[in-house]
Amino acid sequence: MKIQLSIPIVAGVLFLSACGGEEAANSDQPKVEVTVDDEAISADEDFMLPQPISLAHAFKNAGLTYVSGKTNPTSNKDSYSKKIDQLLNLGVYSTDLAYCAINNKTQEARDYLAAVQSLGTKVGLESVFSDKSLIEKFDKNLGNQSALEELIYDIQDKSDAYLQDNDLRYLAAVEFAGAWAEGMYLGIDDSRKNVKNLSVAIVDQMTLLRNTIKGLESHPSQDARLKAVIGMFQDVLATYEGFETVKKAGKNANFKAPELTVEEFDALAKKIVSLRNGIVSPAQK
Amino acid sequence: MKKLFFLLAGILVLTSAVNQQGDGAFDAQINTLKQECKDLIKATRYEGSKITYYNAGSKQTKSVELFMFLPNEYQFAVSTKKCNSSVTLRLYDAASDVEDRTLIKEYKNTQGKNFVFNTTELNKIYRKKMPEVERLKNLHIEYVIGSGKTGKEAIVLVMGHKA
């Protein structure tokens, strides 16, 4: 939100004019107009996005099983040179970390925690992720799934607090977009085995997409890469909202979720896979 | 004339510095309230927080949309201690552009306190109104802020769910 501060400045100029003198009469006086950003005033309609680990849990509750080799390899972490790609893949790795942790794949989860630390530090969250004791805490709780999950929630809490304290919430929005895309990718890929329950979870999580896009659009630097990423997300949303079953379902997300036809489901799956691949392999896009 | 100009410029700079200091104190108070909210629902796993900032003075409405994908109980802590204007909380099942949305619960005159609510009680109320719905997955909290003294104010919301 922008607040124009022209009025007091103009009043000041008028005051100077009222003081008389030849300078006041000089029409060449430069006009003073100041505009400041007042980012602290919230939008009238705001939203709070869930934690990636909660989304992974929702999929697991719906029957998502762990499939080795589906996540984004940690070896990719050094290939993300642009800040936007680092943030998106920090989100991707956060989901992969959660996916491994809730499925008791502790060694894989440990590797993803290291990848999250590495990318987190690169995007400016050193104070959250440079804590060497994170891995130690993780190692201490190996075999205790609940404690590992608590640790992941705790990391998210610290990360959120840091971003909020430093007016960097738009970074969290980009990170969330990556996390959402990875979760949907893992869910939609596995859903063919358990269409009934998982497709409900997928449709539930589609309700996050509109806000995810709003979050991406809130980033102050709308460079070409970010615009391309937003375009990919919008493409998924347009495809989904174009489905007849979705159009008939109405806007209240608490009512019965639309039951996608096989053709609709396949079309959505294609878009999600393309979106996710465009995030984890940015050079291909 | 030039002296007067510099004097005014100096006053502007000083005012700005004082405001910034004031904002720092305001932010610190908000962080304290956020911690108080977290403590109120400390038995839950942290799901997120949202600080709603507004310029008090005129009547206005702000809203926050929340998602609850897990069947677990979600708990919400709200602090309106930094609100001098009257604040009414209205909990709806859909956004304001949905004509037949349902008001689930309303908390009137909440300004100046911390309080909590949870999905167990909300679901009970909601199922009475909408028997066909299993549980709330999407909640819209509307803050109806009354007119009052001008100034920057904020409402703190923290959300968590039981493990």
pLDDT at A197: 74
- What pLDDT, on the 0 to 100 scale, is given for residue B14? 45
Could you tell me which residue, A265 or A38, shows the higher pLDDT? A265
- For the cut 80, the answer to whether the pLDDT of residue A183 exceeds it is yes
**Range with the poorest average pLDDT among A128-142, A167-181, A201-215:** A128-142
The Cα–Cα gap between B161 and A27 comes to 64
Tokens of B72: 């677990």
Instruction: Tell me what the mean pLDDT of segment A7-35 comes to.
Output: 36
Contact B46 A58 (CB under 8 A): no
Question: Would residue B105 be called left, alpha or beta, if left means φ above 0 and alpha means ψ between -120 and 50 degrees?
Answer: beta
Least confident segment among A72-76, B24-28, B72-76, B149-153: B24-28
Packed helices A169-190 and A145-165: angle between N→C axes, nearest 10 degrees: 140
Chain B, residues 85-104, CB within 8 A of chain A, namely: 93-98, 101
Residue with token string 């291909």: A284
- If we measure between CA atoms, which residue out of A230, A203, A215 comes closest to residue A175? A215
Does this model's pTM top 0.90?
no
Q: Does B67 sit within 8 Å of A50, measured CB to CB?
A: yes
Least confident of A31-40, A77-86, B84-93: A31-40
> Which of chain B's residues have a Cβ under 8 Å away from the Cβ of A54?
47, 69-70, 161
Residue numbers of A between 159 and 178 with CB closer than 8 Å to B: 160, 164-165
**Closest C-alpha among B124, B147, B136 to residue B55:** B147
Q: Does B28 touch chain A (CB under 8 A)?
A: no
User: What token pair was written down for B42?
Assistant: 């400390």
pLDDT band at A131 (very low <50, low <70, confident <90, very high): confident
**Which of A8-17, A106-115, A148-157, B99-108 has the lowest average pLDDT?**
A8-17
Q: Is B60 exposed, middle or buried (0-12, 13-18, 19+ CB in 10 A)?
A: middle
Average pLDDT value for chain A: 82
Segment B126-156, tens digit of pLDDT? 999 999 998 999 999 999 999 999 999 999 9
The yes-or-no verdict on residue B17 having pLDDT over 80 is no
A228-232 average pLDDT score? 96
Q: Is A149 on the interface with B (CB under 8 A)?
A: yes
* B161 and chain A in contact, CB less than 8 A: yes
Measured N-to-C along each axis, helices A106-122 and A145-165 cross at an angle, to the nearest 10 degrees, of 10
Least confident stretch, A52-56, A135-139, A235-239, A274-278? A135-139
Distance from CA of B66 to the nearest CA of A (A): 5
- The predicted model gives B9-19 an average pLDDT of 47
Q: How far A108 CA lies from chain B's nearest CA (Å)?
A: 23
> Is residue A27 very low, low, confident or very high in pLDDT (cuts 50, 70, 90)?
very low
- Closest partner residue to A23 (CB to CB) among B1, B27, B93 is B1
Measured distance CA(A185)–CA(A176) in Å, rounded: 14
pLDDT bucket at A33, cuts 50 / 70 / 90: very low
H or E stretch covering B117:
strand B114-118
Mean pLDDT throughout A251-258? 86
ipTM of predicted assembly, 2 dp: 0.85
Query: A188 falls in which pLDDT band (50, 70, 90)?
Result: confident
Cβ burial of B83 (10 Å; 0-12, 13-18, 19+) is buried
Environment class of residue A158 by beta-carbon count within 10 Å: exposed (0-12), middle (13-18) or buried (19+)?
middle
Q: What is the separation of C-alpha B104 from the centre of its chain, rounded to a whole number of angstroms? A: 17
Cβ within 8 Å of residue A256, ≥6 positions away? A249, B132
Please report the pLDDT score of residue B49 as a whole number: 94
Is the torsion defined by CA of A266, A270, A271, A273 positive or negative?
A: positive
